[in-house]
Amino acid sequence: MTTSSTATFDLDLNEIVEEAFERAGSELRSGYDLKTARRSLNLLFAEWANKGINLWTVESGSQLLTSGTASYNLPVDTVDLIEQVIRTGSGTSQTDIAISRISVANYAAIPNKTSTGKPIQVYIDRKSGATESGGVQYPSVTLWPVPDDADTYTLVYWRLARMLDAGTGVNTQDIPFRFLPALVAGLAYYLALKIPGSEGRLQILKPMYDEAWSMAADEDREKASMFITPRPMYV
């Protein structure tokens, strides 16, 4: 059997928009059509971020902690942290210690926020990363207790990063190929909401989008094994 011997299929922005317009019963005809499609695509990415973790946007990072300093900025495109540990030592003698995440209310209730020691709790301030009059609003972490100088501490974390915006027509979107059906289906649904005369397609496009998203999201989940330990019962 003859095959293509390639596995590089992808779509650039223009091709994604063209396919979506066709599904919505229209055509990509003008610069404004591309502009409104790009706006809808960025809103679609925001919706996906709200739906939860997309594993391809999970990145690891670390921050060497300084004695006496409690707060540290995260990369500006950080949506949230999903796991974090305090690492002590170095090389083959390093140890990772889990720390608990607390809410702003819990942090506010700590009576002595300046006490020092090995950090055991972290409060995450999920700022937007927007540039305002006071400068860039970086997401940040605040540790408690404040790191002391008894050891070398490093905050190691796994963060959920923002998906890249829709760029120019020649850009390839920053998503795995398995999410392309969901991307096209979602954009077609978003466009049909705006295109006059496409109202009749909404009842078809919305279920298609929901199904495509569900299939891609299920495939994107972690494949780690799970073991449940029964709780002992005493009588």
Q: Is 188 part of any domain? A: no
Strands 121-125 and 100-102: parallel
Angle at the Cα of 127 (from 173 to 157), degrees rounded to 5? 75
Phi and psi torsions of 63, nearest 5°: -140, 115
**pLDDT in the model for residue 235:** 46
In Å, what is the CA distance from 184 to each residue of 17, 93, 180, 209, 232?
8, 49, 6, 8, 50
145 preceded by a cis bond (ω within 30 of 0): yes
Q: Is the dihedral angle over the CA atoms 116, 119, 120, 121 positive or is it negative?
A: positive
Q: Structure tokens of 210?
A: 């929901």
Q: Is 100 part of any domain? A: yes
Q: Structure tokens of 106?
A: 């819990």
pTM: 0.67
pLDDT one digit per residue (tens) for the chain, 235 residues: 677 767 777 788 888 999 999 999 999 888 889 889 999 998 998 898 888 767 778 889 999 999 999 999 999 989 889 899 999 987 788 999 999 999 999 999 999 999 999 999 999 998 877 666 667 889 999 999 999 999 999 999 999 888 776 765 555 566 788 889 999 999 999 999 999 988 889 999 999 999 999 998 888 776 555 444 455 555 4
Distance CA 160, CA 55 (A): 8
Q: Is 98 part of any domain? A: yes
The number of residues making up the chain comes to: 235
- Domain, as residue range, for 110: 55-161
Total structural domains within the chain: 1
Q: Is 34 part of any domain? A: no
Q: Give, rounded to a whole angstrom, the gap between the first and last alpha carbons of the chain.
A: 66
